[in-house]
Structure 1
């Protein structure tokens, strides 16, 4: 893999030099660049693709953050970083790194408010339902409610700040001295030409290794045969550089999955359908899990079903609700959503066995009324029972992005295996170890953009300060 190369030799020549180099133009890299520029540093963002998009554009664009003024505007006044960190740790059953969970929870709210104040990003808080594992309404989004729009707004901010984003610039080598200080990076162009760019500080914002099937099979074999619904450029460059440098690396078995990717259309179907009363059945018309456990671990549950597929079953109330989500409207446009007047018609349009499907829906109604208890442990009583007409969409499980990576301190400095920080190497987002722990079940909704923007903000501020003054600042409090 080209991305893993470390050179201990001094470059023969340096084509140009700049204070801070950021690798990756997703949310993490763009936020880091903005913060480094605000500290007074000259910054450049290097992006391997012809057009910046990455995992951010493929995401929902939803960012959890506690204690923000945007929450207060909708009446959420009792959320705190401590409450959020507790939710993170509860979801991972205490397996997340507690220091990283704290860093994420204290940095993300100020980061969103800074982006609003300094760069005009608008944030709304989604309050129509609680995402799995969150104890408060804290999911923020730009008004369009898409990752594409979030990426576009960040790119506009970077352009306004006159920060260059160089595309088709794949970083294939880092130059490090005997003390592991990064002095330059090698850029390879699509035609094979190379350039060397000197730097005072380097920020790794090039995500994880979900696009590297060999690394996925090595570290996360349970999802190796599932679809990958992430950016193909996430090939593990930060991981292999870190390994070559002797960085501390943790939780490589952690990842975000999703159990509701429309098949074969490849469109994300919001898990809000399940949280608001929908169910999932397999090809035999039977439920197979507690759908409220979380959409990440549901990827494994769905893939374990015959053919690796399931059907989301819901009704007109939920169909109307789901049209608030752009992805769902797209799924309607391409014909992924099936409609049926009654259970018999539902069986016909899905190809599911009618008797089993009718029995499953009847059982769900009993659970909703409190006349029976769901054997999978789900509480149905808080939402209305499903009623005809019905809707359905065929889905599969998928890997969205990896959650393990380079360990960082509270200034987002990459750590050596002995716990000491590298002199001028920072990381955030999927390049850094996340806050989901080592299992798929530890992923709390929004953890990906949480660490992309939260850690990106910390890394950028620290990197910019280091480049200007020779010292980092503590940005965690």
Structure 2
């Protein structure tokens, strides 16, 4: 590595973007459209990063899609929901930027050819705000597929198998380049006017998780194997400070004995969540952290998502879980209870109560305000 620095820059460019997930692609394409010479680096032999695994959708307020579906939403409502979901520990300025620019983010993706016409409600949202591709396509792979095409269209040079090993600074502590290790080319120095770190988090780095959040040590991660905190390490090495580095989100639903994340939109479109006995224990549309905390307090520290054939037909991603043999199916509540080890009478009462709440529009147990489907057809759980 030191030899590469001593040898001087092998190439000069305007902008280096490190990490070819959604953020990296968007940054690289934007810079290229602005007239910059751009090199996009990705350590893996494939692009997409954690974005490839996104199955839920993108929250946005005040969009054309919401208007078309007659959904009354606002930036302030988005801000209120986000602040509440973050237990008011969020940075209000960043939340405001997120909310105010969210609709433009949807427009940007549309300009890249991504359809985001389907709307769902995710946990913590007060209205249908989660935008997804129509037809039930998974949002992450769809976005990445179109961003790859856009990068090619605009001439963004993308280098796979190219790990950024070191940020190089001058005497004024200004970043002037990146030492890259190419799988086939070895170490070399790229000089640049600007460097964008878009390397994501450290959700797949067990050592970093144990260090920053000891209570999550040993937990299963649904992150891509590329999410190892490389950008954080690069930044810290040149003296960058870290903000809220210990904040790790535990997603409440993941496949049993797997790393496959179950999108919260499954709850949003109608599933209920029950414990080992078959009882509901929380509003399914609460925020992820509260849902996760509640699950960990249940017997056995796990829960079931229960839905019926109506949701199965409605949500394409659920049929994908079925393809992976992740679902248990039954023609009756009693049969489902037997398959899962739940208490039949308890589960039957839970389903009966929920159907009553859904019909009246009043969830007397947990005040869930959006219950689009009942549980009257053959039941399914995961």
Q: What root-mean-square deviation, in Å, do the aligned CA atoms of Structure 1 and Structure 2 show?
A: 2.9
Q: Is the 8 A contact 1:211 1:230 kept in 2?
A: yes
Report the Cα distance in structure 2 between the residues aligned to 1:281 and 1:96, rounded to whole angstroms. Answer: 30
| 1:267-305 deviation per Cα after TM superposition (whole angstroms, max 9, x unaligned) | 433433434443222333343433221345423433444
Q: Tell which deviates more after alignment, 247-256 or 180-189.
A: 247-256
Pick the aligned partner of 2:33 from 38, 43, 59: 38
Pick the aligned partner of 1:274 from 244, 255, 267: 267
Report the Cα distance in structure 1 between the residues aligned to 2:99 and 2:361, rounded to whole angstroms. Answer: 37
C-alpha spacing 1:381/1:179, structure 2 compared with 1 (3 Å): closer
C-alpha spacing 1:61/1:152, structure 2 compared with 1 (3 Å): farther
Q: Give the corresponding residue for 2:375.
A: 386
1:164-243 matches, within 5 Å, as: 164-190=157-183, 193-243=186-236
Unaligned runs of 5+ in 1: 394-477
Report the Cα distance in structure 2 between the residues aligned to 1:153 and 1:277, rounded to whole angstroms. Answer: 29
C-alpha spacing 1:260/1:61, structure 2 compared with 1 (3 Å): closer
Report the Cα distance in structure 1 between the residues aligned to 2:66 and 2:354, rounded to whole angstroms. Answer: 34
Shift of 1:361: 3.6
Secondary structure of 2:233's aligned partner: helix
Q: Give the corresponding residue for 1:140.
A: 131
Q: Give the corresponding residue for 2:100.
A: 106
TM-score using structure 1 length: 0.71
* Higher relative contact order, chain-length normalized (CA < 8 Å, sep 6+): 1
C-alpha spacing 1:200/1:370, structure 2 compared with 1 (3 Å): closer
Report the Cα distance in structure 2 between the residues aligned to 1:292 and 1:251, rounded to whole angstroms. Answer: 25
Report the Cα distance in structure 1 between the residues aligned to 2:139 and 2:370, rounded to whole angstroms. Answer: 31
Secondary structure of 1:259's aligned partner: coil
Pick the aligned partner of 2:64 from 69, 73, 78: 69
C-alpha spacing 1:240/1:330, structure 2 compared with 1 (3 Å): same
Report the Cα distance in structure 1 between the residues aligned to 2:364 and 2:313, rounded to whole angstroms. Answer: 28
Q: Give the corresponding residue for 1:427.
A: none
TM-score using structure 2 length: 0.87
Report the Cα distance in structure 1 between the residues aligned to 2:347 and 2:127, rounded to whole angstroms. Answer: 35
1:225-374 matches, within 5 Å, as: 225-321=218-314, 324-325=315-316, 327-364=317-354, 373-374=364-365
Report the Cα distance in structure 1 between the residues aligned to 2:84 and 2:41, rounded to whole angstroms. Answer: 37
Shift of 1:39: 1.5
Report the Cα distance in structure 2 between the residues aligned to 1:29 and 1:150, rounded to whole angstroms. Answer: 12
Secondary structure of 1:283's aligned partner: coil
Aligned residues: 378
Shift of 1:373: 4.0
C-alpha spacing 1:380/1:360, structure 2 compared with 1 (3 Å): farther
C-alpha spacing 1:212/1:354, structure 2 compared with 1 (3 Å): same
Q: Is the 8 A contact 2:56 2:263 kept in 1?
A: no
Report the Cα distance in structure 1 between the residues aligned to 2:132 and 2:94, rounded to whole angstroms. Answer: 23
Unaligned runs of 5+ in 2: none
